[in-house]
Amino acid sequence: MEFLKHLIKDIYISDWQVKVFLSIGILLLQWVVKFFLRKSLKKSQSSSTARYNWRKTSSNFIHLISLILLFFLWSNQLSSFATFLGLLTAGLAIAFKDPIMNLAGWYYVVFRKPFKLGDRIQVDDHTGDVVDISLFEFKLIEIGHWIQGDQSTGRILHLPNQKVFSSVIANYNALVNFIWDEISFTVAFESDFEKLKHDLEKILKDNSGIEYELAEKRLAEISGEFFINQSKLKATVFYEIKENGILFHLRYLCDPLNRRNAKQNLNEKLLYYFKNNKDMRLNYTTIRVSDTFVEM
C-alpha cells in the first residue's frame, strides 16, 4: 500500500486524494462482500430467522473491519501491523463479547456437563427440560409459571450459553436422577399416631414407584465426585406436635419428570386410607360465623 501511495504521488496526486480514493475502494469492497454474502446465505440457510441472525452478525463484522481500516488509513498507522492487529483484536473482543462468551459457555456445558440433553434444570426464574444445546444457546421446554405441578406450559425458552457463568443452575437429574418430595397433613390428637405412622410407611413403600436400592447404588458410584454424607435412601414418615393436631410429613423419592403423577398417586392412596379408617381423622382449619342480634 505504501508503494501504491508513492506511485500515485509521482503523478502529482496529493496524499489526502490518495486516501480518499482508498477510502472509496474500502467502502466499495465492503458493499461487494455484503452483496455476495447475502446471496450465499439465501442458498445455504432455509430458515428466515437463521438468515437474519447471520446477516446481522456478518454485517456488523464487516462494518467494524471497514471502520478500523479507514481509521488507520487516515491516521497513517496502517504500516504498523502489530498495532493494527492489537487494536483489531480488541475491537473484535468488544464488538463480539456476547458471542464469544456464548461459545465459552458452550465449551463449559459440553466438557464440564452441568447439565445434558433431557435434564430438568432451573436457571434464575426459568425451569424446564433441556431439549437442545447449540454453540450460542440452549433451549428448554418450560414448566411451571401459570401451570401447577411441574407441568409443561408449551413454550420453548431460548437461553444464551453465557448464563452458565452468571446464573445459579439447579439440575434436578444431577445426582441419582431422582429428587425428594413431601406431602404434609395434620391429624387429630385422638388418632393412633403409632399405627398411622406404620401404615403410612407401608403406603410409601408400596406406591413410590422408585427402586431405592438402585438409587443407593447410583449414589455410591458418584460418591467420589461429591462429598455426600447420606448413604441410605428410603421413604420416611416424620411427625411433630402442633397446636391443632399432629403434623405428618411423608418424604419420598420421585422421578423429577414424573413428580406430579407420583404425588397424585400417593394422594389418592391416602384419601382411600382415611376414608376406610374412620378412627384416623384429618384436622383442618374451620371458621364459624354467627350473627348477633341486639334488641334495643
Mean pLDDT score of the chain: 79
- Model confidence at 91: pLDDT above 70: no
Same domain, 257 and 188: yes
Distance separating the N- and C-terminal Cα atoms of the chain: 110
37 in any annotated domain: yes
Confidence of residue 289 (pLDDT cuts 50, 70, 90): low
- Model confidence at 5: pLDDT above 80: no
CATH number assigned to the domain comprising residue 157: 2.30.30.60
208 in any annotated domain: yes
Share of the chain above pLDDT 90, in %: 27
Mean pLDDT across 153-181: 88
Mean pLDDT across 78-98: 64
107 in any annotated domain: no
102 in any annotated domain: no
Q: Residue 230 has what pLDDT?
A: 63
285 in any annotated domain: no
β-bridge pairing 120-123 and 137-143? unpaired
293 in any annotated domain: no
Same domain, 183 and 154: no
Q: What is the pLDDT of residues 185-239, one digit of tens each?
A: 999 998 888 999 999 999 988 876 677 777 777 777 666 666 666 666 888 999 9
Q: What is the pLDDT of residues 15-65, one digit of tens each?
A: 666 777 777 888 888 888 877 777 776 666 555 656 666 666 777 777 777
Stronger pLDDT, 94 or 273, i.e. the higher one: 273
Same domain, 132 and 218: no
Q: Residue 120 has what pLDDT?
A: 92
When mean pLDDT is compared over 5-19, 155-169, 219-233, the highest value belongs to: 155-169
Give 79's DSSP letter.
T
Q: Which range of residues forms the domain containing residue 252? A: 179-276
126 in any annotated domain: yes
Q: Residue 247 has what pLDDT?
A: 94
Q: Report the alpha-carbon distance of residue 62 to residue 38 in Å, rounded.
A: 13
206 in any annotated domain: yes
Same domain, 196 and 161: no
Confidence of residue 12 (pLDDT cuts 50, 70, 90): low
Collect all residues with Cβ–Cβ distance below 8 Å to 92 and sequence separation of at least 6. Answer: 61, 64
CATH number assigned to the domain comprising residue 184: 3.30.70.100
Mean pLDDT across 77-96: 62
Same domain, 217 and 253: yes
- Model confidence at 119: pLDDT above 60: yes
| pTM over cut 0.85 | no
Exposed, middle or buried: residue 277 (CB in 10 Å: 0-12, 13-18, 19+)? middle
Same domain, 119 and 137: yes
Give 256's DSSP letter.
G
Nine cell digits for residue 84: 493494527
Nine cell digits for residue 9: 504521488
Stronger pLDDT, 39 or 295, i.e. the higher one: 39
Question: Comparing 10-19, 125-134, 148-157, 215-224, which segment has the lowest mean pLDDT?
Answer: 10-19
Nine cell digits for residue 26: 474500502
Domain count, the chain: 3
Same domain, 167 and 186: no
Stronger pLDDT, 24 or 149, i.e. the higher one: 24
Question: Comparing 88-97, 183-192, 262-271, which segment has the lowest mean pLDDT?
Answer: 88-97
Same domain, 210 and 154: no
- Picking from 126, 155, 171, the residue at the C-terminal end of a domain is 171
Q: Report the alpha-carbon distance of residue 64 to residue 58 in Å, rounded.
A: 10
**E strand or H helix that includes residue 120:** strand 120-123
Backbone angles phi, psi at 68, to 5 degrees: -65, -45
Same domain, 164 and 245: no
Same domain, 27 and 81: yes
Same domain, 151 and 192: no
- Around Cβ 140, how many Cβ atoms within 10 Å? 23
Same domain, 60 and 16: yes
Q: Which residues pair with 157 in a beta bridge?
A: 140
- Model confidence at 10: pLDDT above 70: no
